[in-house]
Every structure is written in C-alpha cells, then in structure tokens.
Amino acid sequence: MAEYVKIKLNGNEIELPVIEGTENEKAIDISKLRAETGYITLDDGFGNTGSCKSKITFLDGEKGILRYRGYPIDQLAEKSSFLEVSYLLNHGELPSKTELEKFERTVKEPTLPVEICALLDDFPKTAHPMGVAASAIAALSCFVPRENLDITKIDKDQVLGQLMESISIISARFFRHRQGKKIIGSDPNLSYVQNLYNMMFGEIPSDEVKKALEVLLILHADHEQNCSASAVRVIGSAQSNPYACISGGLCALWGPLHGGANQAVMEMLESIQADGGDYRKALDRAKDKEDPFRLMGFGHRVYKNFDPRAKIIKKATDTVLEQLGVEDPLLDVAKGLEKVALEDPYFVDRKLYPNVDFYSGIIYRALGIPTDMFTVMFAIGRMPGWYAQWRELVDFKGSRIARPRQVYVGENERDYILMENR
C-alpha cells in the first residue's frame, strides 16, 4: 500500500506521497504542494531537500557508508583503477576487459588544441589553478565540433574522454608553466595516473605513489549531491553543453568550504607552524567557542560518525610518507595534530575525526604539489563523477529546468522618489 503524509493548511487537508529509495531512504514528494496549496517549503542550504532520484552514489552519513553504483568504496579503492571506476560511474556496471581497453583509448586519444595551450601560457603564473582550469574547460567548448555542444547529438563517451584527458593536461601544463619548466606532453603508453604524474614531474611514479594517487582519485570521484555536483546538474537542467556544466562544477569546487578544504588544511597547518608549531595549543583554541580559530580537516557535514574515505587514505598516507622519507616540519605538525586529536575526549566524543581533506593535503604536500594546486587535483578525480551526474540528468526524460522558489522579505510596494526629493 502506498504511503502518504497528510498536511492540514487553512482547514484543507492534502496528501503528499512518500517516495522510498532502494536503501530505504524516504522522501516526501512535495512537487504539487505549491499548485494545490499556494505554499512552498523553505530549506536554507537544501539540507533536507532531495533534488533528484539518482542511481550513481549512495551515502549514509550516520553509518559511514559510501558506495558507487552499489560497490563499497573500500573495495573499489583496494581493487580497482581510476579509469575502471570512471567507467562504472558513467555506465552503471564494471567494464569487461574489452570495454575497459576501449574506454582507456577514448581517454588517451584526445589532445589539447594549440589555442588552449597558448591560453594556458598567457595566464599569469600567480593565477589560481582552479581559475585556470575552469576558464580553459569553458574555452575548450570553442574548439570542438558543434555537435558536441548539442546534447541530443553528443557522443557522451568521447566527450567524457576529452574532458578527463584535458583536465589532466591543463593542470599539469600550468603546474610546469608557473615554475618556468619545460612542458611535458601526454604519453598514451602510460596509465592515466602515471601520465598525470609524468606530465607534472617528468618521471614515472613509484608503485606506492601511483597507488596512493589512484586511491585519491577514486575516493574523490563522486560524493552524491554535493555543492559542485548540484551546480553541474542545475546548469545542465538548462540543456547547457557539458563543457559549460563542468566549468560551473569547477567554480563551485573552488570554494574553501567545498573542494578548497584540503588547501585550507595546509593553510591552517602553516598558521600553527608560524605560531611555533604547538598543535596542542591549536586544539585548545579549537575547543574555545570564543576563539575564531577553526580546526580544518576534522569532521564532516554529511558523515556524523567517521568519513569512510579517511580510513582508506590514511593507510596510503602512511605508506607514501614512509616510502618518500620526506622531512618536512609542516608534516610533523600534521602528524602530531592527528595523533593528539584522535586521543582527545573532546574530539572523540564529538566524532571529529580527520577527514579525507586532511590526509589528501598531506599526500599532495609530500609529493611536492603546491597548496593552491590541491583543489585542482581534487577536480581531476571528480571529473567522471560530475559527468555521470550530468549524464544521468540529460538522460532522464522527465528532467525539468531547475528553478528554486524564495520567500520574499524585502520592502512592500512603494512609489519612486525624484532625485531632488531624496
């Protein structure tokens, strides 16, 4: 029997259907609320609002569960590759060997237009890599066949391959450009992760570093209806081309409360180091409600217990630091902060554990990647997830353009006042 919620408004009673997902998530369908009652709901930040039905990612913040297309994130991180996960997100099933090989060729085939390369070389070296990436991806739409801008004619896999390859080339090229180093081209004989690392550093990564980067990209590949995924869907709902949608996703990810969080972690650690490196003092400041200091990289808005990605990446972090033998006072501060916070009752009781942003920043720092590049590394991993979200949206026959309502709280109607009377 169908389940309904009854609401009484001004003496009238209406029934709103309850929608249940495959993981027993329940939602009240309010799509006809305004038409039948004249009322809307108000939900600042959309924390209680479901914007779509999706088959891509399941997240349970209370239990610390994250699954892509039903597959637990720990299994994918341990056994899969980033390109295999990218295929899974976009096609719904793990690929066969033949399907994966074809997909790998699709990703490796594209080259960056010379005009985009010239654009990257013209950006000031002080530019933020996220601004560069968002601009270059948007500009890429000017150099593709017109049919790749028409979502009714687009070859979705071909465009996905181009976007995935382009974001890695754009990021690596600007990384070397700002250092004044010779640009290293893409090598189709290398794996996706090896090629990215080689374009950045001019060498093939060790197996341990390759695995750590592979895991990082997989963990960042998708995360349900977060700010940037929602931005991609909202832009896509206007039937905008995928390059515009992805550029919008990049801009949303840039924010310090979203993808910029791992950059914020390093900046926090730098401030602690500048204050003498006393991480215990920093923890005391974080407990003080009167102190504006915030402990970045601990806790998560969605995960109320622990971030399942953090457990996975902590292991990779320890392996990379041991393998590289990096001596960095900032990383010593990070390790000390982690150890003390995990033992402090204040943080333990509130389940404020280190999250994925805390550990990813440590790995990137150890590899020699500058702090302001952290978010663009996040974006490389998130690209297939954004695209899967866009793809699901445009393939859904009942999709409507996003158009939230508001509750107006401004001035009532008033007459215009001439300048001489003001």
Residue spans of the domains in the chain: they are 4-50, 71-257+373-395, 261-367
* Residue 207 pLDDT > 90: yes
Under 8 Å between Cβ of 366 and 321: yes
Looking at per-residue pLDDT, the higher value among 365 and 415 belongs to 415
Pick from 360, 297, 366, 299: which is nearest to 331 by CA? 366
Candidate from 128-137, 148-157, 407-416 with smallest mean pLDDT: 148-157
The pLDDT of residue 192: 97
Question: What count of Cα atoms within 13 Å lies in the side-chain half-sphere of residue 316?
Answer: 31
CB 316 within 8 A of CB 211: yes
Query: Whose CA is closest to 366, among 307, 336, 322, 310?
Result: 322
Domain 261-367 of CATH type 1.10.230.10: yes
Neighbours of 131 (CB within 10 A): 14
pTM of the shown model: 0.92
Protein fold of 4-50 = Rubrerythrin, domain 2 (2.20.28)
Q: Which one has a higher pLDDT value, 339 or 233? A: 233
Q: What is the pLDDT of residue 362?
A: 86
Q: For 171-185, what is the mean pLDDT?
A: 96
Share of the chain above pLDDT 90, in %: 65
Residue 327 in this model has a pLDDT that exceeds 90: no
**Residues tagged active-site:** 300, 357
pLDDT at 1: 62
Which residue reads 């924010």 in tokens?
A: 255
- For 201-237, b/e burial (b = at least 16 CB within 10 A) is beeebeeebbbbbbbbbbbbbbbbbbbbbbbbbbbbb
* Parallel, antiparallel or unpaired: strands 71-72 and 26-28: unpaired
pLDDT of 263 strictly over 90: no
Over the chain, what is the mean pLDDT?
A: 92
- Candidates 343, 335, 381, 336; CA nearest to 362 is 335
pLDDT digits (tens, 9 = 90+) for 40-90: 999 999 989 999 999 999 999 888 899 999 999 999 999 999 999 999 999
Tell me the two tokens of residue 85: 């996960």
Other CB atoms closer than 10 Å to residue 128's CB: what's the count?
16
pLDDT band at 379, cuts 50/70/90?
very high
R_g (Cα) of the chain, nearest Å: 23
pLDDT score recorded for residue 266? 85
3-state secondary structure at position 52: coil
pLDDT of the residue at 147: 77
**What's residue 189's pLDDT?**
95
Residue 298 DSSP class: B
* Mean pLDDT calculated for residue range 317-329: 83
Q: Enter the CATH code of domain 71-257+373-395.
A: 1.10.580.10
Residue 398 in contact with residue 404, Cβ under 8 Å? no
- Please give the residue that has the higher pLDDT: either 310 or 244: 244
Which of 381 and 292 is assigned the larger pLDDT? 381
- Please give the structure tokens belonging to residue 286: 């974080």
3-state secondary structure of 12: strand
Task: Using a pLDDT cut of 70, give the percent of the chain over it.
Answer: 100
Average pLDDT of the segment spanning 294-320: 83
Do 259 and 378 meet the contact criterion of CB atoms below 8 Å apart?
yes
